[in-house]
C-alpha cells in the first residue's frame, strides 16, 4: 500500500466521488434477499457488465473524466490495464464487505486489482484461504494492489467496526475480459 494522491488531490477526488451515481443493491445469499451493506457504483468501458455473487448485476456508466484520468495514472504506475471501476461507499461503522475473493469469471484468469481509498480510514484484512489475517489501515489517497494470483490464494474483507467512523469511499479498478481466460 502506498500514498499516490496528495491530500489536496485526494480531497478533490473524494468530493467528485460523493457525486457519483451510488446504488443500494440487493444481494441473494442462502435463498434470502437483503440490502448490500454499503452503496455501490460502477463506471467503465461499454459492454463491461459485471455480475457478482450470482445475484448483483452492475452495468457500467460512462467513465467520468476524473475516474478515467485516475485509471490512466494507476496503469502508468503499476502497468496493469483496467476496464471498469467499482465504487464502494461505507456510510457508517455497520457498512462492510465480508470475506471474499474477487474471482468473477468476467475479469478473466488471475486478475490484477487496484484499490484506491478515500475518506475515513478503515481496516482492510487479507488472509490466505486457510490462514491468519493481516491488517492494513487504508488511508485517504492510498493505493493497494492485489497482484495476479492473489484472488486464487487469498480472501479479503473490510469488517464492521466499533469505532466512530465517517464515510469511506473505495474505488477498485478491474480488468474485464468477458469471461475469456
Ligand atoms: O473497500 C475495500 O477496500 C475493499 C473492497 C472490496 O473488497 C471489493 O470491492 O471487492
What whole-number distance in Å separates Cα of residue 111 and Cα of residue 127?
Answer: 17
Q: What CA–CA distance (Å, rounded) separates 39 from 3? A: 24
Residue 101 CA, chain-centre distance (Å), reads 11
Query: 137, 138, 37, 39: which is closest to 95 by C-alpha?
Result: 37
180 within domain boundaries? no
Ligand 1 neighbour 97 (Cβ under 6 A): yes
3-state secondary structure 101-140: CCCCHHHCCCCCEEEEEEECCEEEEEEECCCCCEEEEECC
Question: Is residue 181 in some structural domain?
Answer: no
pLDDT at 131: 96
The pLDDT of residue 180 is: 77
Ligand 1: centre distance to CA 129 (Å): 17
Tell me whether strands 134-138 and 97-100 are parallel, antiparallel or unpaired.
Answer: unpaired
> What sign does the CA torsion over 107, 160, 122, 99 have?
negative
Confidence of residue 97 (pLDDT cuts 50, 70, 90): very high
88 ligand 1 Cβ < 6 A: yes
The verdict on residue 179 lying in a domain is: no
| Residue 172 CA to ligand 1 centre (angstroms) | 7
Distance 48 CA to ligand 1 centre (A): 19
Distance CA 144, CA 123 (A): 13
Q: What is the mean pLDDT of residues 148-164?
A: 97
pLDDT given at position 105:
92
122 assigned to some structural domain: yes
Tell me what the mean pLDDT of segment 169-181 comes to. 91
* Number of DSSP helices (H) and strands (E) in the chain, helices first: 3, 14
Q: What is the pLDDT of residues 40-68, one digit of tens each?
A: 999 999 999 999 999 999 999 999 999 99
Q: How many independent structural domains does the chain possess?
A: 1
Q: Supply the range of the domain harboring residue 136.
A: 2-174
Distance from residue 143's CA to the centre of ligand 1 (Å) = 12
**Domain-embedded: residue 13:** yes
Q: In the structure grid, which three cell numbers stand for residue 95, read together? A: 457498512
| Mean pLDDT value of segment 25-36 | 95
pLDDT at 1: 82
What value does the mean pLDDT of the chain take? 96
* CATH number of residue 116's parent domain: 2.60.120.590
The answer to whether residue 149 is domain-embedded is yes
Which tens digits make up the pLDDT trace of 98-124?
999 999 999 999 999 999 999 999 999
pLDDT of residue 28: 94
Does residue 102's CB lie within 6 angstroms of at least one atom of ligand 1?
Answer: yes
Amino acid at each position: 500500500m502506498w500514498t499516490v494522491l496528495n491530500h489536496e488531490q485526494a480531497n478533490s477526488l473524494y468530493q467528485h466521488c460523493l457525486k457519483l451515481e451510488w446504488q443500494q443493491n440487493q444481494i441473494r445469499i442462502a435463498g434470502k434477499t437483503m440490502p448490500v451493506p454499503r452503496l455501490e457504483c460502477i463506471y467503465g468501458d461499454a459492454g463491461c457488465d459485471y455480475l457478482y455473487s450470482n445475484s448483483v448485476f452492475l452495468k457500467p456508466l460512462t467513465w467520468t473524466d476524473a475516474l478515467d484520468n485516475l485509471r490512466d495514472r494507476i496503469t502508468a504506475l503499476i502497468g496493469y490495464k483496467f476496464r471498469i471501476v467499482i465504487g464502494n461507499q461505507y456510510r457508517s461503522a455497520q457498512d462492510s464487505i465480508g470475506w471474499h475473493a474477487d474471482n468473477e469469471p468476467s475479469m478473466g484468469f488471475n486478475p490484477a486489482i487496484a484499490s484506491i481509498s478515500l475518506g475515513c480510514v478503515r481496516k482492510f484484512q487479507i488472509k490466505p484461504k486457510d490462514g491468519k489475517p493481516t491488517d492494513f489501515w487504508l488511508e485517504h489517497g492510498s493505493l493497494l494492489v492485489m497482484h495476479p494470483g492473489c484472488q486464487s490464494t487469498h480472501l479479503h474483507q473490510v469488517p464492521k467496526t466499533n469505532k466512530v467512523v465517517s464515510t469511506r469511499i473505495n474505488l477498485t479498478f478491474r480488468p474485464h475480459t468477458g469471461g475469456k481466460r
